[in-house]
Amino acid sequence: MSDQPVRILVLCTGNSARSQMAEGLFRELGKGRVAVQSAGTEPAAHVNPFAVQAMTERGIAIGAQQPKHVDSLLDQQFDSVITVCDRARGACPIFPGNVERIHWDFADPAAVSGSDAAKLAAFRATRDGLEQRIRAFLAL
């Protein structure tokens, strides 16, 4: 077994919510066993404040993370590329090497309308769903 961390890219469209939360969760739960980045096919200007709040509730700070375009990472090698929305899955570029492509489709919590409480609930549900998948991926 290698002592090198598993290199993971989490990809979505805007890189403002789902992929940013997944990056924070992988970093926290992976405890140094993963080197994780996130990116988007059409990155937003900033991380969604509801994503930041939902993650802060779990003790994971993602407020300093910045959305970035997947093209900025094309020269890097990853062991796994995980898409967390159907649009990103269809637009995911080919990365060099033997890359495992994984797809976890999560509804966009930023698309939820209504009160701030309803929006935050959607982000919490997404966070919790991502955490379940990530725990299983890491076999925790």
Task: Kindly list the catalytic residues.
Answer: 12, 85, 92
The residue type of 139 is A
The residue type of 47 is V
3-state secondary structure 28-96: HHHCCCEEEEEEECCCCCCCCHHHHHHHHCCCCCCCCCCCCEHHHHCCCCCCEEEECCHHHHHHCCCCC
